[in-house]
Structure 1
Amino acid sequence: MSHGKQFTFYTCKRGPNGWKVALVLEELGLTYESIYLDLDKGEHKAPEHTKHNPNGRIPTIIDHKNNDYTLWESDAILLYLAELYDPEHKISVVDANEKFQQLQWLFFQASGQGPYFGQAAHFMRYHSEQLPSAQERYNNEVKRVFGVLESVLSKREWLVGGKMTIADLSFIPWITRTHNTFLATEFPATAAWNSKIRERASVKKIQETLAAVNAA
């Protein structure tokens, strides 16, 4: 593979975690070649990918300007990109205490938002039978996570450091149009935060790319 761009980026067309990494790559002006793995065909589990990512999931990056350094797990990738390629701290923090708060939010996104939002979507849209108890459980968890965000964002504009960081960006691709139906009324500060981030040029570009690759 020719490495005209800095990163090879293994992702998929729909998964929020891949688009989360794409957002940060765009924010930092980094060049990358996206390889969209077909999850239905199991391409993420194929040897061509698992040789880079033994977990067989997306996303995975290879940094060709750092000796083909390979990394997987989306929030670990965000931290790597911020640490190495955000010297001006445009979307990351400097203060040691704030770094731990940034890490706190990334852990919460990975352990709280991602799994619960994913399970809610699964039981609402993809499960082979309707299970109201499972739908109720995970929809309640979705609202619990939004409640945590609301409790903080109702008091300040951003999650950490008084500015938008990778912590804020990590949540955005998981927030769907379905969530927007109740965000404005139940979680107005979170709705405003989400809308503000979605007005950024990088987010609009990623939304256009998302629409284009899924229309192909």
Structure 2
Amino acid sequence: MSHGKHFTLFGHKKAPNGWRVPIILEELGLTYETVYLDFTKGEQKAQEYTKYNPNGRVPAIVDHKNNDVVLWESDAIITYLVDNYDPEHKISVADPIEKYYQLQWLFFQASGQGPPFGQAAWYVVFHNEKIPSIQERFRNEIKRVFSVLENVLSKQEWLVGGKPTVADLSFIPWNNFVLPGGVPGVEKERAVVNFDFEAEYPATAAWHKRLIERPAVKKVYALRESLNA
């Protein structure tokens, strides 16, 4: 493993969770080298990787400037990064109570957004058997999550602290993945989201647009696009 960069990041060229941590690393100006695992070869389940992440999923990081600390689970990694490398609170909050508000949104992303968005993508795009009732179930969960966000974002510009933080940034990859054009190689007509995002959730759509226009996010997604071209 190379130690030329501050971090080694284990990710995947397409999987949304593999792109959440790079956004935070770029926002904080931290250097890293990414090892892209090949899921078709089962590299994420091989001992060479599970010695870092016993769950056999991405992402995981190694912090070479902090005794080679190894962390997995993207929201744990994100919390570690801002706690240790965002002293000016560029993308995090300083107030002790607001830290818990920030954490609650990270937990909501991990439990409320990621799993149903992923299941929707699986059953709509990738699963061999098309089961309308299951597709509808998870598409409805996407709408429920967007409704939660819309309820908050219709009253305030950002989720926590009156500024963009990791609470907001953590939602980008899965939002991008389910919106039209989000799955590489899949026609927009087969997009996971089958409703008008901007019309039904205008505040959430405007929030998402503000986030994806950030330079760090653009840089990460330009790389992702080049890798999947």
Question: Do they superpose with TM above 0.5?
Answer: yes
The match for 2:6 is: 6
The match for 2:89 is: 89
The match for 1:192 is: 206
The match for 2:103 is: 103
1:210 partnered with 2:220? no
Checking the alignment, whether the CA contact within 8 Å between 1:180 and 1:191 is kept in structure 2 is no
Give distance in 1, aligned partners of 2:31 and 2:223. Answer: 15
The match for 2:19 is: 19
Checking the alignment, whether the CA contact within 8 Å between 1:6 and 1:65 is kept in structure 2 is yes
The match for 1:125 is: 125
Give distance in 1, aligned partners of 2:173 and 2:32. Answer: 19
The match for 1:74 is: 74
The match for 2:146 is: 146
Give the root-mean-square deviation of aligned CA atoms. 1.0
Amino acid aligned to 2:211: I
Q: Normalised by the size of structure 1, how large is the TM-score?
A: 0.97
Return 5+ residue gaps in structure 1 as ranges.
none
Give distance in 2, aligned partners of 1:180 and 1:17. Answer: 22
Give distance in 1, aligned partners of 2:40 and 2:107. Answer: 28
The alignment partner of 2:158 has SS state of: coil
**Structure holding more helix per residue:** 1
The alignment partner of 2:52 has SS state of: coil
Return 5+ residue gaps in structure 2 as ranges.
181-192
The match for 1:44 is: 44
Give distance in 1, aligned partners of 2:23 and 2:70. Answer: 19
The offset of 1:72, in angstroms, is: 0.1
The offset of 1:181, in angstroms, is: 5.7
1:107-136 residue CA offsets vs partner (Å, 9 max, x unmatched): 000001000000000000111201011000
The alignment partner of 1:175 has SS state of: helix
Q: Give aligned pairs, total.
A: 215
Give distance in 1, aligned partners of 2:103 and 2:4. Answer: 32
Give distance in 1, aligned partners of 2:117 and 2:55. Answer: 20
Checking the alignment, whether the CA contact within 8 Å between 1:13 and 1:214 is kept in structure 2 is yes
Amino acid aligned to 1:24: I
The alignment partner of 1:48 has SS state of: helix
Give distance in 2, aligned partners of 1:180 and 1:110. Answer: 23
Give distance in 2, aligned partners of 1:19 and 1:213. Answer: 12
The alignment partner of 2:70 has SS state of: strand
